[in-house]
Structure 1
Amino acid sequence: MKKSLLLLCFLAFFTACSDDSETQAVGDDNQLPVGNKVVLLKVDLLTNSFEGGKELAFPENSNFTISTDFNPAGDFGDITLIYEEVSEPIFSGDIIWMGLGQMTFPESINTPEEFPTIQNPVSQPDESQFALVSVDEPATSPFLSDIDYDAIWSSVNNLAVVKEYRESNPESKINLFLYTPSVGVGDPAEWDWFVILKN
């Protein structure tokens, strides 16, 4: 009886170890499947230059809805974008009145040089393929009413990760989020677009 119990415990432990080998650590040491990914690509609002990005892995889910948790800046505010189907953050950052907030999640992003490029850029999607992740922040309204989709897309269309994501999920929306860490007398030179794609 004791031998059978020990054998069962050993098999359970071995199975758990095998399952771990198929996952990737992301964020706070969470073990997550590597199949469901989202990439954030940072583009300067005024120059439309690519400034880096981050690829994130999440629990398996074929759907992708972004919800927001927005606290307007009285003095200090913040914004969090949430992958609704798995209840996990995609992005979060401070918003400071008459100051400058910082992105708090992801804690860092990869530099542009860390993103392999391709020779033939990915074709410009139709404007209907873009979806705006908006929040009720009046200072951003002039920039949200006249978005230069061509310029934003041109800044990331030569990235291998964009080609990979668009080929694996061509019907998915290309989400655009304007992060404004400074409001009040905010400086648009400190603001960035985030292009958000799901594979």
Structure 2
Amino acid sequence: MKTKLLFLFLMGILLGCTSENIVTDAPTQVLMLKVDYTTNTFEGGTILGFSRQTENFTITNEYVSPGDFGSVKLTYKELNQTLFEGTIHWMGLGEMTFPKKLEPASSFEYVITEDIRYPSGFEDVFNPDNRELDYEIPWYSVQGLVKVREFLADNPDQKVKMFLYTPSVGEGDPKDWYWVIYLKR
């Protein structure tokens, strides 16, 4: 038993994810990545594990418009599981409340190559202001990650799910905003 726990702990370290965020033997895994909106710098991510496999991967959102305080929640519809929760403040700064922690960018390995990998497309899962968004720019920040390439190889026809989280609105500062990117395998 101790050997098995030690193995799972070491695998979590090697994968760059904490045991809170990943189920290593889960039939379904969702890779969540965070990219800064103004600099398009990859800042970190996690892998969420789910005990049931689904053919489809639909993300629904629950949005509470910020009169003063609002929120957004993204759900993996087929499993009724939370993927993201965050608060939004008018003339203030909200925060991501789920997942509680992301692994830093330094814990993700990059491939040593200059080829660019593209998904079969991008899907906007939440855009309450109907902004014109260019998904390719933040995609360039993550497409060289080993995990991204593994997820694309395992599910090559998937559309990458994109979400621009704006925890500060009104007189909000775009420097507080970031992209959230999801891939499934």
Query: 1:44-81: CA deviations, max 9, x gaps?
Result: 11111101011100122232110001111111111000
1:50–1:112 Cα contact (<8 Å) kept: yes
Deviation of the 1:42 alpha carbon? 0.5
Q: Which residue of 1 aligns with 2:137?
A: 151
Deviation of the 1:121 alpha carbon? 5.2
- Alpha-carbon RMSD across the aligned residues, in angstroms, is 2.3
Give the secondary structure class of the aligned counterpart of 1:167: helix
Shift in CA distance, 167/114, structure 1 to aligned 2, threshold 3 Å: same
Give the secondary structure class of the aligned counterpart of 2:66: coil
Identity %: 40
Structure 2 counterpart of 1:169, one-letter code: N
Instruction: Choose which of 157, 160, 171 in structure 2 pairs with 1:171.
Output: 157
Q: Which residue of 2 aligns with 1:106?
A: 99
TM-score w.r.t. the length of structure 2 is: 0.83
Unpaired runs of 5+ in structure 1?
Answer: 1-20
Runs of 4 or more consecutive aligned structure 1 residues displaced over 6 Å after TM superposition = none
Structure 2: distance between partners of 1:77 and 1:121: 41
Q: Which residue of 1 aligns with 2:74?
A: 81
Shift in CA distance, 71/50, structure 1 to aligned 2, threshold 3 Å: same
Unpaired runs of 5+ in structure 2?
Answer: 1-7, 13-18
Shift in CA distance, 160/121, structure 1 to aligned 2, threshold 3 Å: farther
Q: Which residue of 1 aligns with 2:38?
A: 46
Q: Which residue of 2 aligns with 1:14?
A: none
Structure 1: distance between partners of 2:25 and 2:82: 16
Query: 1:19-46: CA deviations, max 9, x gaps?
Result: xx9xx9646xx98951200011101111
Instruction: Choose which of 49, 53, 56 in structure 2 pairs with 1:61.
Output: 53
Structure 2: distance between partners of 1:43 and 1:148: 13
- Any residues of structure 2 matched to 1:171-190 within 5 Å, and which? 171-190=157-176
Give the secondary structure class of the aligned counterpart of 2:103: coil
1:118–1:159 Cα contact (<8 Å) kept: yes
Structure 2: distance between partners of 1:122 and 1:80: 34
Q: Which residue of 2 aligns with 1:90?
A: 83
How many equivalent residue pairs? 168
Shift in CA distance, 102/122, structure 1 to aligned 2, threshold 3 Å: farther
Structure 2 counterpart of 1:148, one-letter code: D
Structure 1 counterpart of 2:137, one-letter code: A
Larger C-alpha radius of gyration, 1 or 2? 1
Structure 2: distance between partners of 1:108 and 1:46: 22
Give the secondary structure class of the aligned counterpart of 1:86: coil
1:45–1:189 Cα contact (<8 Å) kept: yes
Shift in CA distance, 188/32, structure 1 to aligned 2, threshold 3 Å: same
2:127–2:163 Cα contact (<8 Å) kept: no
Q: Which residue of 1 aligns with 2:123?
A: 131
